[in-house]
A and B are shown apart, each in its own frame.
Chain A
Amino acid sequence: MSLANALVTHRDRILADLDAAHDYYVNSIYSWRFLLKAITNGRRVRIQNKRTRNTTTQVELPDLIKSYVKDNLASSTYQQFVSLFEDFLFGLMRLWLQAYPHSLAKKQLPVSAVLEATDLESLKLVAVNREVNELNYRKLREWFAYLDGLAKLGCPSLDVIDRLAEIKAARDVHVHNRGIANTVYVEKSGALRRCQVGERLPLPEAYHYESWELIRKVVADVSSSAISKAAIVSPTVPLPEVDE
């Protein structure tokens, strides 16, 4: 498969997954709203969780639904958006490095990797995966600096990278710190921080949507630029692995 075609496939899968994640968010909200409407119309509800032995009825559900929508659902889907963004960026870099591995020429591999490799292509893939995995531990701004050094795509802009850094830092707070902003968030977000250390970091619908929209635009823009560049030389890459 040509690099350009592999990038198109990668972009399309990520964009479809982003749309599906946002549909899940909205459809879930309205499933809860539907239940709320039924309760408003006098329907009685009884949900028994046999695992926790808790029972929830129409008395508790309205308050719970508000919290489920504003906190749980917003946080889980937001995390999914950022995971898809990371999946996109690292997937793109993996494809690019597989097509243009020469930037890895001075990297070292353990002898065991060489001995275990079945052919040169699989060894190349080991080198690429090691490089991308190491990059994963660096800061978001460094990811884009690396990509720029690799492919010189000319996008996204520094302003957009700053917004993505805040989005990623907010995601980390929701994954690792129960949604309470910490010093790492404040430091990584810079002027774009949305609260102080110790405060709950909210995910209001407008911000949730803007984050999804920005990630979607970055995926589209970075892909377009990469596809254009790849189409000029059109090297081939092994078929990308697709997670089922």
Chain B
Amino acid sequence: MVDATKPNEKLKVAVLGKAGPCLWVPEDQVADVQRLLDSHRVPYEVDTFSMSIDDEPAQVMFDFDADVDSVALQALLDGQP
């Protein structure tokens, strides 16, 4: 799935520590990502707040449990336009 605020970049899953992957999503794409995850029954928690750095478009963080496969998650996102 392309980052709508940076057309040459894809949404990228970040893997840090043992706590499970996370994903930063532009605020306007949150509903699309939620639909995608819901349709594939991927459990997640999504912030109801957003953060903008250096006046860039605001982003929202999706948080996943440690047992969510980050590679499969990235493949799921890459399979979307």
Contact = CB atoms under 8 A, between A and B. Distances in A.
A binds B: yes
A209 B48 contact: yes
- A interface: dominant SS: helix
Nearest to A40: B14
11 contacts: A30-B51, A33-B61, A37-B24, A37-B53, A40-B14, A60-B17, A62-B17, A63-B18, A65-B19, A66-B19, A209-B48
State which size class the interface on B falls in. Answer: 10 to 19
Interface of B: 14, 16-20, 22, 24, 45, 47-49, 51, 53, 61, 63
Given A66-B63, A205-B45, A33 B16 contact: no
A42 B14 CA distance: 11
Interface string A1-41: 00000000000000000000000001001100110110110
Contact of A63 (B17, B24, B45): B17
Nearest to A29: B49
Given A33-B61, A66-B63, A40 B51 contact: no
A26 B60 CA distance: 12
Contacts, number: 37
Contact of A62 (B19, B45, B53): B19
Contacts of A63: 17-19
B30 to A, nearest CB: 15
A59 interface: yes
Contact of B51 (A34, A61, A65, A67): A34
A33 B14 contact: no
B25 to A, nearest CB: 13
A21 B24 CA distance: 25
Nearest to B48: A205
B49 A59 contact: no
